[in-house]
Structure 1
Amino acid sequence: MASEHGGAVDGGWEARLAHVVDLMREMSRQTDPQEMVRAYGERVQHLTRIDRRISLSRRDLAAPCYRVTRSTTWPGAVNPWTDKDRLPLLEGGLVADLIYGNEPRVVDDLAVPADDPAAEYLAGHRSLLAVPLFDQGVALNMVLFLRTEPAAFAREELPELVWMSNLFGRATNTLVLSDQLRQANQALDRELKAVGEVQRSLLPAALPKIPTLDVAAYYRPSARAGGDYYDFFPLPGGRWGIFIADVSGHGSPAAVLMAVTHCIAHTNPGPAQPPGRVLDYLNQHLVTLYTGGSGKFITAFYGVYDPRGRRLTYASAGHNPPRLKRCADGRLIPLDAAGGLPLGITGEETYDEAVQQLQPGDQVLFYTDGITEAANRTGELFGTDRLDRVMGNCALQAAGLLEEVLRAVEAFADGHPADDDRTMIVARVS
């Protein structure tokens, strides 16, 4: 008997196999679960002689309630994932018994009372085949195949139909979850992008003009938002504070703590304080209010440059020592004469200071470990030796040296993505 939507495939097993292969090809191209269900339903119409097909769901419902999610009698399709409230919600009757029975069923002589909740969907048909679709071992969904004549479904077709329908159900569910994951990732990416924009707004909008010091800066997070931070502070007497920090971890948590550090640094009350006292202040507030017991910490280097004497007074909280290249004699001097624990670990830590006398032509490179720990495809790190070799070009101004370092890091990485945020401040004494 021909169905409302076309008859079954004739021509023997070769024709059926060809049709199944075409079905699998078409299913593999689908990215929209609603379109996938539509295409699958049309194909199944040709494989199995049926006159009507009804899809049901009891997901998130209590017995004996269920929803009709699809019917070949409907003039148009309703998307059950996005328009669930438009689906008919029924209670009790034969269909409730079937879907809550959790088993395949064949009814050879269907007789439906007029007051059955699903009577309009079943009326006029004498044969019914119920195929449960399992999720976590429970038939949360079911497909009903109907024929107008009695005893129309052969039992030997049931195993194949249950098998194929459940495999398709799992594939559809995977596609739905994939789409939900894609939408969630897009929403998360939008949020991270907004966090990154806020974070970048906390960095200096323009580099300061510091007498006797040419400066350039670079900042790139490894994700939408990161935990690196640099800043410049105008101080009394024409001096300038130069600050660079690196929050442990990556992404939004690090970006939030970076913003907190920025806020604390900019609310330090009273007259300008020497570098060690500034780090003490940051550390006390971080430990007391934010990082105590969390395992989070911040490495930081803070230097105060006095243009009149070309003198840099500095303190460090576990940060990478800046590299000083003395172009007058070629020496490389790490600024490591003062150090201490990273910020946010213990409130008992205090920070000593050191003074470095600078000379015209000196190059100073402040950086976070995303520079020296940049890895190539084999896992080798860029390291300080390569950084020092790049600093050998004393003819470059600050911006030129910064670009030279970035080119060297990118060439070394050879396409390997950045695993950490990368931040640099380059200063050249004039």
Structure 2
Amino acid sequence: MTAGRPAERPRWQSECRDAIGVFGVVFIAYLLGAWLGWKSFGSAVGPAFFYPSAGVTVAAMMLTRRTRWPAIVVAIVLAEGLVDLYFGNPPAVAAGYALANVVEPLIGASITLRWCRGVPDLRDRKDFAAFVAGACVIAPVFGGLIGGTVASWSHGSGWFSDVLQWWAGDGVGVLVTAAPILLWSKQYAIVKARPLEAAVVVLLASVLSVAAFWSQAQPSMLILPVLAWAALRLDVLGAALTGMMIAFVATTMTSRGRGVFSEMNLSPASQLAVTQLFVAVLLLVSLLMAQEAAARLQALRDREAERREQVRLRSVSDLALHLSAALTPTEIGLTLERQLLADGGADALSLGLLSRDGERLEWVTRVGLPAAVVGSASDGVPLADATMAAETVRRGQPILLRNRAEFNARYPQTSSWFDGTGAQTLASWPLDAGGRPIGVMQLMWRRPQPLDAAQCAYFSAAATMVGQALVRARAYADDHARAAVLQSAVLPAVPGDADGLEICVGYEPTDAAHGVCGDWYDVMPLSGNRTYLAVGDVVGHGLSAVTDMAQLRSAARALAIQGLPASGLLAELNSFTRHASKGRLARLTVATFDSAAAVLRYGLAGNPPPLLRRKATGQVTQLSSASGPALGPLTRANYTEGLVQLQPGDIVLFYTDGLVERRGTRIEAGGASDIDAGIAEAEMLLAEWDPNISLSAASASLHQMLAPRPRVDDVCTMVIRVISPGP
């Protein structure tokens, strides 16, 4: 035992403690339900016409592990025996009733759990139907056969009527009592969010039920509006709780000769049977109505979420296009002001850049904030200060504060700032350049925001593009930052592996001294277990080529986020290139890898075909199913998409023409034979690779063997290897 560390409780002790807890809860609940059955629901003269304990036991078994079912069985036997003996039943009768009430929940829980493949979710139509059929209809048949037989023998009454009454009483008891118990854990938050309304609905249902039965009025006229209220406002749990109260009142009042059912020219047993039917139908209708209302409300929420997501996607695309044209931090700030405050719904925006010495954050843009707040930090914020903006830069991670309590707990010394802005929710994202912090983007809302996954993904994408745009802006302002332009605004920090892929990039500009060229690569995670991959080349060199490249890359990212297929993405980029690249053409290979299906979808725009090396055979093939011309020259160009199924260990090589060109021959100049010779050499090299070769070593050998220095063109390669199996 480690000193100072308490000894862990043995597992059997925990199991015993949990079993005792289950026993206690079931015993007390069963005892109360059985007592009500004797006092109010007819157990004194035969099978109860409404037996709440039946719902308690079957729900308990559905919600607990089978290893704890013996504790529930013991609780049933003891509670049933105590109640029966207390009210004067002989021990043999008590034993028969206990057996019936043990067999019934065992069968009901087993059938329902099997049909639903777990605890039934009564919000789901299929699970609800399985619950009604298994626990409310089939299982009470077995309980009725045993309990009804014992009751008939004990009271000298008709066997069939006792069996039928037991079946109906337990079936209604399970439907009325088990439904809210099973729904409680799944929908308690709804009642918790509206406690007063829930209490009013349940109380009103009880009062109106008493009034309806007391006055001999048609009960449904008073009760149905309350049930509709519960179903629409409190979901299925609200309908179940309301229905339970109505069932208690209806059965109690009818058994005492009150209500429209007691006025029928029927025997007392038939009157109670009609009441049972009324309760069952009423509760079934209310639960189904609640399910339908919940489904329709969820459909509306889904459509609204889809609409908001479409707005965000369009906004991301527009933001990428506008940022690609912004050349100064001020222009970037104005672009953010137009996009994020309008489409993002934020009330205030602050954009800060790290000073040259790295000691302060200097504000580029601050809009939507009170003048006093802006003036208090007009000269910036020291990076060492305990402020939200400074901490975001220091940590390099987003900070999300959804309410004032979170802000005060984290920054108690600046709580007055929160008061001065009227903020309810704050969020900040770091801006970086190739992993190096360069600033912060901070947003504020005056209404509480959930900051859910969709919101965070949108603003995170915006922060990424802003970081790239700021780097480009600094590079335009300072020629000495050209290397940063290439590294941060053009080339992302490539992970060693993505979702299901190991990735290695080789990048060698012709101008090694300045590192500026038109080749580029991109790797970006997408939704649905997909990864976006791109290798491209803008004709030309220098900062002008880098500018075109950055715009094209940003536009391609925005289109990829929208989920366009490779053919559609390239078609859109072709139109964009004609207007944005000042007449330059560009070549591009784009692909998306679906790790769940191990499928690679790709498209080509003037680039040589990727090469696939199969691990199983070592065979190397060209991925040439896709085709399309270079981007820019043609007004209407047709692009097709290729698809290939990959296996673990398969390697794919993406590359620009600089890797396989010979003697300066260009693809568009008709040098197909020389290009083909270079591709053939590349295929031979890939075929010679060991299946487990290091990708970095493989990439280096490609550059050394196929494009040694001095070279006449830039070279960019991306080698990927599948590391996770497909379906």
Q: TM-score, normalised by structure 2?
A: 0.30
| Greater helix content | 2
| Greater strand content | 1
Q: TM-score, normalised by structure 1?
A: 0.50
Structure with more relative contact order (C-alpha pairs < 8 Å, separation 6 or more): 1
